[in-house]
Amino acid sequence: MMWLSSGFIFRRGTSRYHRLDPRVKLLISVLMFATTLLVRTLYELAAVLTFMIAVAAIATVLRRVARTMAFTGLFSAFIFILNFIFTRNVETSLLYAARFVAIVVSTSLFFITTSPDELEQVMKTFRLPRDVIFAFVTAVRFIPVMFLDTIQIMDAQKSRGLELEKGNLLRRARNMIPILIPLVVNSVVRSGELAEAMESRAYGSVPRPTSLVEYRASVTDRVVAVAAVVLFALVAYSFYFVLPARIL
């Protein structure tokens, strides 16, 4: 489980995609996300997913995106089954299940290639309230810490004879209590300590603190952003006016 979920966590990279302005990476992810909502057939969705895989290859995060896809597999299966029960249509059910995978991949491509610092800068450009930005970025920054905590808590409880892999669904759910309680308690304690540490370092003393890094879009960033918008417009146009609504 931990191996799978690590597909969502940022790791430093040196690819051209990593080096793009974070606002451009956000734009690409938003456009990919929007495209997945526009698709009406499995073929169109397959094309969009192929494009996402190509982006992942450029960003040299193919393996991690594969993990993201594997992570969403269980939820997708659930979506497929529910849709099939209510619609009795394999194509529609598959479309919804695959669309979920595409949505998660499009968002994870942004998060696994964008550091929390860059994320903070992106949010600042949208002039969001400082406290909101801080809370969101801190939450993102603490995801790996919480994963690490979870592993250590699981280790500690397994060493006290807790069997996490045995028993029926109800028992397995009940066995998660010794994992979840220390995790929540630790997180609450940590957030209190963080608040104290931030206040003791003058957090909130000035309305607009200065930034160490000010992002300026380079020529490459601008070209990639324009290309992404044009490509999105072309794809949206072709989905609605060129390609037939049903191919299958």
Question: Which residues of this protein are in contact with other proteins, per CB under 8 A?
Answer: 3, 6, 149, 152-153, 155-163, 177-178, 181-182, 185-186, 189
Measured from the CB atom, the residue of 14 and 210 that comes closer to other proteins is 14
Residue among 76 and 115 whose Cβ is closer to other proteins: 115
**Minimum CB distance to other proteins, residue 158 (Å):** 4
For residues 49-86, one letter each, b for 16 or more C-beta atoms within 10 angstroms of the residue's C-beta and e for the rest, the string is: bebbbebbeebebeebbebbbebbeeebeebbeebbee
Sequence-ordered list of residues with C-beta below 8 angstroms from that of 46, at least 6 positions apart, any chain: 98
Asked if 28 and 228 count as a contact pair (C-beta separation under 8 A), the reply is yes
Between 72 and 157, name the residue whose CB sits nearer to other proteins: 157
Shortest distance, CB of residue 182 to other proteins, whole angstroms? Answer: 5
| Sequence-ordered alpha helix ranges (H) in 22-61 | 22-38, 42-58
Name the minimum Å distance from CB 193 to other proteins: 12
Pair of tokens at residue 66: 């594969």
Which C-beta is closer to other proteins: that of 30 or that of 153? 153
CB of 153 to other proteins, least distance (A): 5
